[in-house]
Amino acid sequence: MSPASTARIGWLHTLLAALFALLPSAAIAQVKDVTAYHAIVTKDKADLRCGETANYYRIAELPAGTLLSVDGEAADFFRVTYPASGWAYARAESVKYDAATKTATLTEASNLRAASAVGGIKGSWKNLLPQPLPVGTSLKVIDEAKDDEGRIVGYKVATPASARAYVRKADIRQATPAEIETARRTQPATTEATPTPPAPKPAGKPADKPVEPAPAAPPADKTTDGSVEPVTTPPGTDNSLVEPMVKPGDKPADAPVTAPTTTTTDAGANPPATDTPADTNAQPAAPASEPTPRATTIQDLDRSFEAMRRQNTDDAEYQALLAEFQKLKDANPGQPRLQKQLQSRIDWLHMKLEIRERQREIEDMKRKADNQGRDVGTKLADLERQRQYAIVGRLLPSSVYDGHSLPLMYRLQSVTGGIVPRTIGYIKPDDKLDLLPKLNQVVGVIGEVKMDPAMSLNLITAQRIDILQSSDGGPARSP
């Protein structure tokens, strides 16, 4: 196995250990508010992330000299304002797009999605805002977001002023007055999203009826003009356990928050009773519909979540449960406490998915290394048969027999089988063997190998040493 492959496996093991170490900290990571001040980016291509730890995805790379405003601090990260070039995702079903003005108006409250630098809208799972923007907010559209089949599934929009991101403390420092002034002249101003106020009524027109106080907000299943709008359950909802839904007004105050269910109300299906004689030609009424399925709650998902925590990592259905938690979170934007609970579970599932992927990569590399070792072993065995080499291995200096406290010898290391090589013998130096240029290379030794009973070592008396494979893992040279 080449040194580069060994180094990569070591790096993946380190990454895996780091990810496990992050599991407890991710749920308790705290961001402390600080007095706002300006900071300057000191590192080119500094990572801007959507969360306060390194396991959150990258949303942009910042050039050195970028001016940011810092207003929060975590363990290793600062919370900063979004740069003017930043953008977010709005789902297509949450907005009404106006092509003439290139704006998208929210038709339902939304936290928007922090845009992943590499994952597109599909890989952008983190909420951008801690509190949802209200219905009617107008957002500047930068571009359309399409899926793999070319369908529009969302829009890239300018980030609101309240959007925040995170950058490593080591990558920024407090800006000087001169740097602030220079950056303000060269960097564009931040784009904000502003609520679109309702159009004022014409003045002077008498009211047709007494004006009633407007409700604070329209019900979730009605539009602002009072018409009934269908509410649909997101695709993939598991309705295997169904119960009649509790009627509005009968729901207790502490009942769990639920995701919306599929209900369709026909405004003309049940008109109020009148004294008009019955129409003998009228069509018979449709039969009563089935009871509405009970909506999924966080308690339902938590049962699956706890069961999954006890499952083997390879068999756990992390992706399916992650989608259910995200769906419930999107359906309840106005519940801060519930949002926090759901987000902690979403973050845990994302980390488990990442860990499983890294484990599979490591296993794949081990298999490839084993296969490579077997291939090298086969080739070297062929060479041994052809040239009658007594032993084959990688020639290395010895840290024990270094010629100071103990006699100078060079060691021969195995190059086949397993991930960790072992010492298979020692060669005494000889001017005619010219050993120094052959160090760190795979060699074949023609000579005699004997076990020294006093030293319990294989001592090799070499008559000739040929280079079979270079130190960079290149093809074997012809002896």
DSSP per residue, 156-211: EEEPPTT-EEEEEGGGEEEPPHHHHHHHHHHSPPPP--EE-PPPPPPTTPPPSSPP
CB contact at 8 A, 479 and 387: yes
Check residue 123 and give its pLDDT: 84
Check residue 69 and give its pLDDT: 93
Check residue 256 and give its pLDDT: 47
Match 């405004």 to its residue by tokens. 267
Check residue 39 and give its pLDDT: 94
Q: Hey, where are the domains in the chain?
A: 1-30+291-375, 31-197, 388-469
Check residue 291 and give its pLDDT: 57
pTM: 0.38
CATH number of 388-469: 2.40.50
CB contact at 8 A, 261 and 271: no
Check residue 264 and give its pLDDT: 41
Check residue 454 and give its pLDDT: 78
Q: Average pLDDT across each block of 10 residues of the chain; the chain has 479 residues. List them in order.
A: 48 49 48 93 92 88 91 93 88 93 94 88 89 93 89 93 93 92 73 40 45 43 42 42 41 45 42 47 52 74 83 77 88 89 91 86 81 70 67 90 87 75 89 89 90 83 86 51
* Rounded Cα–Cα distance for residues 198 and 136 (Å): 8
In degrees rounded to 5, what are phi and psi of residue 465? Answer: -130, 120
Q: Where is 69: in which H helix or E strand?
A: strand 67-73
